[in-house]
Structure 1
Amino acid sequence: MKAERDVQRRLLELAEVDAELDRVDHRRRNLAELTEVIEAEKTTNERKDAQIAIQTSLDDLERETKRQEKDIEAVRAREERDRKLLEAGDVSAKQLADIEHELTTLQRRQSALEDDLLELMEQREAVEKNAEHAAGELAVAEEKLVDAQRRRDEAVADLDTTEARRRAERTELVGQFPAELLDVYEQQRKLKGIGAALLRSRRCGACRLELDRSAIARIAATADDEVVDCEECGAILVRTPESGL
């Protein structure tokens, strides 16, 4: 296959554009900022789950406190009723004994309920402190998430800009090559990742291997408009005064 020397050299421009597009694609798939966002989202979700668990505990304690207070009020109401009966003096001896026994029982019951209520209030106070701490941790996690998302979006925007510019350059470049040459280049690029490379100091710019004497002799004997390739990797070799032929 033949192609003018200048046309062959423009393959290096195309190869450089494709190399940068590959770098953009690799960077996009391995974006450190994306990993940071994922980690920040994980931490934020963990903080949210912790806050929900603490709030659930607070809600349970609140319900239990109200129930306890209601029970204490019921005991107090029962005690007040019994004392009024005693004060009225309109009860039999047996009723008097029963009321006095009940009052003693109610006092013990009220004391136990109040102790339980005090314990519940202490527990709620401790959980409320945990809730404040969890809210602070969640706020910090959310702030870090927002920052990570911002940096990710900026990185993606930069990649999008570079990719759009390079694709426009590529579209302009590919129109300058004969279809046969471009097809060989594209097939090699699909197969090995690099379609064309500079032959510099007898070394292939694609596979980085130095060509042996027979390969160099073969290339040196080939006309300038003849397209040659690397025997090792198959990339189109572009010859210049740097090639060492």
Structure 2
Amino acid sequence: MHCECGAHGSLVVSSLTARSAPDCHISTEEPTLKADPIAQRKLLDLAELDARIGQVRHQLKSLPEHQQLSDLQNRRAELDAKRRDARIVVDDLTREQKKSDQDVEQVKARRTRDQGKIDQGLVTNPKDLERLTHELESLERRINTLEDIELEIMEKVEEATASLTEYEEALATTDDEIALVVKARDEKSQVAQSELDTVTEQRGVEVFSIPGDLLALYDKIREKQGVGAAMLRARRCEGCQLTLNPSDLARITKTPADEVVRCEECSRILVRTDESGL
């Protein structure tokens, strides 16, 4: 049993007996756990490995390239949408230009035909000749108008094509940037993953030297805290960085070396060494 209401930074001592106090209550949550002090010290090596595993996993998730890729992909999506719109405009204007060209050619063909009739002397009636002459003048004005329209459309096509080219070039540049960032991300990920595999393998070897019940407690704490054990160094828990008060230190000092003690604040297993200051 252990006391649940110690002061901030006090220790939970796994023990079947505990002295009652007016300001605390007795808990029977966990029975006494005993382990060879050497086995307890091995938890520090395991904790160091677990801390490094956590760091590398965080590193893998928080590579700056992840955000860079997200930004670049968002930019690419915007550029691609603008490119599609520009392509639609170019295609529409190109069809409009083709129709305008056809209109001009049709009117020019009619002018050529009428002018040919006059040149060949096929129209001899003065009224018909006058009518045909007026028609040629009308066709000439129509051609000028259509050619002006054709020129305007050509200018629009040129502008739209320039915009399309700009978006295509921007997309190509963005794709190059994405490729570089992906390469950098993959290289960093490969290095980090290699380290993670190595440390994980080391952990697998380390756990074989730790008693099952002690390891089970450690892993239970690790699931909540990330690391399940911390050194008691200079009267301070290295897990939560809180200094123990004198009464807790006195109680820990009297606790047998093979009895597992835990930090009241962070619940980690406290491993006593020559540096504990007891």
Q: Provide TM-score, normalisation by structure 1.
A: 0.92
Alignment of 1:1-245 (within 5 A): 1-87=33-119, 88-90=121-123, 92-245=125-278
Unaligned runs of 5+ in 2: 1-32
Query: How much has 1:94 moved relative to structure 2?
Result: 4.3
The letter for the 1-side match of 2:183 is: R
Tell me the distance in 2 between the aligned counterparts of 1:178 and 1:231.
23
The letter for the 2-side match of 1:72 is: V
Query: How much has 1:146 moved relative to structure 2?
Result: 0.7
The letter for the 2-side match of 1:49 is: A
Q: Secondary structure at the match of 1:3?
A: coil
The letter for the 2-side match of 1:66 is: K
Q: Secondary structure at the match of 1:113?
A: helix
Q: Secondary structure at the match of 2:209?
A: coil
| Aligned residues of 2:35 and 2:214 also touching (Cα < 8 A) | yes
| Aligned residues of 2:123 and 2:129 also touching (Cα < 8 A) | no
Q: How many positions carry a matched residue from both structures?
A: 245
Tell me the distance in 1 between the aligned counterparts of 2:117 and 2:135.
12
Query: How much has 1:217 moved relative to structure 2?
Result: 0.8
| Aligned residues of 1:65 and 1:120 also touching (Cα < 8 A) | yes
Deviations 1:154-204 (Å, cap 9, x if unpaired)? 121122111111110111111111111111111111122221000011111
| Aligned residues of 2:260 and 2:269 also touching (Cα < 8 A) | yes
Query: How much has 1:222 moved relative to structure 2?
Result: 1.0
The letter for the 1-side match of 2:151 is: L
| Aligned residues of 1:199 and 1:239 also touching (Cα < 8 A) | yes
| Aligned residues of 1:33 and 1:155 also touching (Cα < 8 A) | no
Query: How much has 1:208 moved relative to structure 2?
Result: 1.1
Unaligned runs of 5+ in 1: none
Which stretch shifts more, 213-222 or 125-134?
Answer: 125-134
Query: How much has 1:91 moved relative to structure 2?
Result: 5.1
Task: Kindly report structure 1 stretches of 4+ aligned residues shifted beyond 6 Å.
Answer: none
Tell me the distance in 2 between the aligned counterparts of 1:244 and 1:90.
126
Tell me the distance in 1 between the aligned counterparts of 2:161 and 2:265.
71
The letter for the 2-side match of 1:36 is: Q
Query: How much has 1:223 moved relative to structure 2?
Result: 1.2
Q: Secondary structure at the match of 1:241?
A: coil
Q: Provide TM-score, normalisation by structure 2.
A: 0.82
Q: Secondary structure at the match of 1:242?
A: coil
Q: Secondary structure at the match of 1:175?
A: helix
| Aligned residues of 1:44 and 1:145 also touching (Cα < 8 A) | no
| Aligned residues of 1:215 and 1:231 also touching (Cα < 8 A) | no
| Aligned residues of 2:50 and 2:226 also touching (Cα < 8 A) | no
Larger fraction in helix = 1
